[in-house]
């Protein structure tokens, strides 16, 4: 049988991982596809000692791969959204199928890319873009395709999870752990993408589109990072029976879709709370299946290469099938994507954790609880730290479910009290009940 001819653009960590898997598992992969997969062309500005490219044509201009007439599938692993976008659109224009691991590219330019691919009758697959080696996109678009998805909640940035785990387990400071994550190679080239939630927002955009059949809407994701979290809040959450995780949450409320990335208190007993270090996990609640959990490595040459190669295998199997009959790019056919609105963040309803610093004076607590009750906010639990006389007192409290707009109004009034000092910390809570 003729081999499927693959061109790989980019030979960094994921590119070299992909080449190594395609080579070391070539026989097993050929048995799965029904024909061999041949790496016919690599485009890379420089070699990578982590992989052997002997016998493969290598070009220094990545665009050569998109132009090579013998290539069936172009694999974009260069990252970024400028050259990567040009390369992908050029490959599509030349009638090639595309596999990419590029979450920013799909989240920000996916609608344009799919429309070009649809017009040309070619396929685009991007399993590696979300949660690395965890096959969550195939799970949502195929394995759970029978369901109306109610919500998806995931730890989808390994660097952020590593930082939070170290802060909690070892009482380390944020900046110190971030440096280690960078040295270990987990963090994005620009680590603000990890710690300010942009990387997670890219991934959540993709998850939500495949879960609910909506167009990609990266600019509508509410995004809050972990850089302002303190060890004090992490410890206080534990005292209330919760753990702080940086979650991406996509929820179909019936009135619209919530798309949000932010630090979140989750009950210690839910499985997601035990996902530590750089590991990723995504929980999905479907109306027929109930709660499901997908766990694994979210980054690295092997795990991400595993997802890239899985896409190549799937495409290799279906190269001769008419494009309209393959799994749609976003799991739902492009012409029936829904226009469900994405809801504003102040319309979210959830419990809150609140920490504030107050003067130790009679009536301070009464003022705070009065304002909360005037805004119909009910307190679930509260504790006050014992401090030396005349020192400001930290108060931590958990509310019952409340509309975010109401808590904002209440906290603005509380912050205006003379007895309340400094900024008030507030962190959303998710019970993750299916």
| Nearest distance, CB of residue 298 and ligand HSE, angstroms | 5
State in angstroms the smallest separation of the CB of 188 from ligand HSE.
Answer: 4
* Integer Cα distance of 409 and 368 in angstroms: 13
Burial per residue of 295-322, b for 16 or more beta-carbon CB atoms within 10 angstroms, e otherwise: bbbbbbbebbbbbbbbbbbbbbebeeee
Q: Which is nearer to ligand HSE, 188 or 406 (CB)?
A: 188
In angstroms, the CA 262 to CA 249 distance is: 8
What is the phi/psi pair of residue 257, to 5°? -110, 130
Residue 19 CB-density burial (10 A; 0-12 exposed, 13-18 middle, 19+ buried): buried
In angstroms, rounded to a whole number, what is the distance separating the alpha carbons of residues 386 and 417? 21
In the set 14, 92, 155, 187, which binds ligand HSE (CB under 6 A)? 187
Smaller CB separation from ligand HSE, 22 or 155: 155
The smaller minimum CB distance to ligand HSE, of residues 208 and 299, is found at 299
Shortest reach from residue 132's CB to ligand HSE, in Å: 6
Toward ligand HSE, which CB reaches closer, 188 or 409? 188
| CA gap 281, 243 in Å, rounded | 15
Instruction: Work out how close the CB of 402 gets to ligand HSE at its nearest, in angstroms, rounded to a whole number.
Output: 31
Smaller CB distance to ligand HSE: residue 134 or 350? 134
Comparing CA positions, the residue from 297, 247, 251, 255 lying closest to residue 272 is 247
SS3 content of the chain, % helix, strand, coil (to 5): 40, 25, 35
The radius of gyration computed from the CA coordinates of the chain, to the nearest angstrom, equals: 24
Annotated active-site residue in 103, 203, 245, 251 = 203
Which of 68, 199, 314, 404 touches ligand HSE (CB under 6 A)? 199
Q: Work out the angle between the directed axes of helices 103-120 and 198-212 (0-180°, nearest 10).
A: 40
* Residue placing its CB nearer to ligand HSE in the complex, 51 or 104: 104
Looking at 64, 173, 180, 188, which residue binds ligand HSE (CB under 6 A)? 188
Contact mark string toward ligand HSE, 245..284, x via CB under 6 A: ----------------------------------------
DSSP single-letter state for residue 1: -
- Among left, alpha and beta (phi > 0; psi -120 to 50; other), residue 252 is beta
Residue 157 CA to residue 195 CA, distance in Å, equals 9
Q: How far is the CB of 111 from ligand HSE (least distance, A)?
A: 21
Minimum gap (Å) between residue 384 Cβ and ligand HSE:
37
For 14, the token pair is 């994921």
The interface region with ligand HSE, picked from 1-9, 83-91, 152-160, 374-382 by CB under 6 A, is 152-160
224 binds ligand HSE (CB under 6 A): no
Contact 168, 174 (CB under 8 A): no
114 vs 186, which CB is nearer to ligand HSE? 186
Burial class (CB in 10 A: 0-12, 13-18, 19+), 214: buried
Site for ligand HSE in 291-350 (CB under 6 A): 298-299
Q: Cβ 302 to ligand HSE, closest distance in Å? A: 13
Crossing angle for the helix pair 26-33 and 13-24, to the nearest 10 degrees: 80
Please list, in sequence order, all residues whose beta carbon lies within 8 angstroms of the beta carbon of residue 191, skipping any fewer than 6 positions away: 159, 178, 181, 182
Segment interacting with ligand HSE (CB under 6 A) among 153-161, 217-225, 364-372, 391-399? 153-161
Q: Which stretch binds ligand HSE (CB under 6 A): 91-99, 185-193, 372-380, 412-420?
A: 185-193
> Least distance in Å: CB of 141 to ligand HSE?
19
Helix (H, G, I), strand (E, B) or coil at 386: coil
Closer CB to ligand HSE, residue 188 or residue 380? 188
Residue 194 binds to ligand HSE (criterion: CB under 6 A): yes
CB 239 to ligand HSE: min, Å: 28
Question: x/- contact string, 102-141, with ligand HSE (CB under 6 A)?
Answer: ------------------------------x---------
Q: Does the footprint of ligand HSE cover residue 157 (CB under 6 A)?
A: yes
245 given a catalytic annotation: no
Residue spans of beta strands (DSSP E) within 363-412: 379-384, 393-399, 402-403
From the list 156-164, 237-245, 312-320, 396-404, the region that binds ligand HSE by CB under 6 A is 156-164
- Active-site amino acid positions: 203
What is the binding site for ligand HSE (CB under 6 A)?
132, 157-159, 186-188, 194, 199, 298-299
């Amino acid at each position: 049988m003729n081999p499927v001819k693959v061109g790989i653009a980019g030979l960094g960590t994921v590119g070299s991982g992909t080449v190594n898997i395609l080579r070391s598992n070539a026989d097993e992969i050929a048995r799965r596809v029904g024909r061999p997969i041949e790496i016919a062309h690599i485009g890379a500005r420089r070699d990578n000692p982590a992989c052997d490219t002997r016998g493969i044509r290598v070009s220094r201009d990545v665009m050569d791969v998109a132009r090579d007439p013998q290539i069936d599938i172009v694999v974009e692993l260069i990252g970024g959204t400028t050259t990567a976008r040009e390369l992908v659109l050029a490959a599509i224009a030349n009638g090639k199928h595309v596999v990419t691991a590029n979450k920013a590219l799909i989240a920000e330019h996916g609608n344009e890319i799919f429309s070009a691919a649809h017009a040309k009758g070619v396929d685009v697959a991007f399993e590696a873009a979300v949660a690395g080696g965890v096959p969550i996109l195939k799970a949502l678009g195929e394995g759970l395709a029978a369901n109306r998805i109610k919500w998806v909640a995931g730890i989808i940035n390994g660097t952020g999870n590593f930082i939070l785990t170290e802060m909690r387990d070892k009482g380390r400071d944020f900046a110190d752990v971030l440096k280690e994550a960078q040295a270990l190679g987990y963090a994005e080239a620009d680590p603000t993408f990890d710690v300010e939630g942009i990387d997670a927002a890219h991934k959540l955009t993709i998850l939500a589109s495949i879960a609910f059949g909506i167009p990609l809407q990266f600019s509508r994701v509410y995004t809050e990072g972990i850089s302002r979290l303190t060890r004090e809040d992490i410890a206080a959450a534990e005292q209330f029976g919760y753990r702080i995780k940086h979650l991406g949450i996509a929820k179909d409320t019936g009135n619209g879709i919530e798309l949000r990335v932010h630090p979140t208190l989750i009950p210690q007993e839910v499985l997601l709370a035990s996902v530590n270090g750089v590991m990723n996990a995504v929980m999905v609640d479907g109306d027929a299946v109930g709660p499901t959990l997908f766990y694994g490595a979210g980054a690295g040459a092997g795990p991400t290469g595993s997802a890239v190669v899985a896409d190549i295998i799937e495409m290799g199997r279906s190269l001769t099938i008419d494009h309209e009959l393959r799994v749609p790019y976003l799991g739902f056919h492009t012409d029936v994507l829904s226009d469900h609105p994405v809801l504003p963040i102040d319309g979210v309803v959830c419990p809150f954790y609140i920490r504030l610093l107050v003067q130790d004076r009679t009536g301070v607590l009464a003022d705070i609880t009065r304002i909360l009750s005037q805004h119909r906010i009910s307190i679930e639990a509260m504790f006050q730290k014992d401090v030396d006389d005349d020192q400001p007192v930290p108060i931590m409290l958990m509310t019952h479910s409340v509309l975010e707009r109401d808590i904002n109004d209440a906290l603005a009034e509380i912050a205006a009290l003379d007895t309340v000092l400094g900024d008030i910390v507030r962190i959303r809570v998710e019970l993750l009940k299916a």
